[in-house]
Amino acid sequence: MGTVSRIERFDPSDMIAEKEVMTRYPGIFRDGELSELRKQGLIGHIPISRQRILYRPVDIEKYLQERFVPPVTREQDPCPPENHGSSNTKTNGSDRNQEEPVSIDTGFRDETLAAANLLLSS
């Protein structure tokens, strides 16, 4: 038979019945999850009888700590934030010149000025 680890800080008044864990820690465990975790050996417990399983708050907290995912810091962030600067920069687009292209005169401006002068002279 394997070795049994010593139970530190054992206080029977702190023990929580499996059925009471859901009310003591609302929204943390779904129905039947503690039973699954216990059977997989993932959470500490004290089997009093087949129908009566007790948990120490420290064992529940230990399980939750193991599941805790810390936030990602900027140094660890695999996706740097997007640059929302000007789209006319060296780092955006091709290596080609990013200057304004020279516009092509289509003659529309001259026609508009001629029509405006004709109206004003009448």
Q: Residue 41's pLDDT band (boundaries 50, 70, 90)?
A: very high
Rounded to the nearest angstrom, the gap between the alpha carbon of residue 4 and the centroid of all alpha carbons in its chain is 38
Identify which of 34, 33, 55 has the alpha carbon closest to the alpha carbon of residue 45: 55
User: What per-residue confidence (pLDDT) applies to 13?
Assistant: 84
Helical H runs in 40-78? 57-67
User: What per-residue confidence (pLDDT) applies to 12?
Assistant: 81
User: What per-residue confidence (pLDDT) applies to 85?
Assistant: 58
Q: Residue 1's pLDDT band (boundaries 50, 70, 90)?
A: very low
- For the chain, the structural domain boundaries read 12-67
Task: Report the side by side order of strands in the sheet with 53-55.
Answer: 16-17, 53-55, 46-47
pLDDT averaged over the chain?
77
For 91-103, the pLDDT digits (tens) are 555 556 666 666 6
What gap in Å lies between CA 28 and CA 22, rounded to an integer? Answer: 8
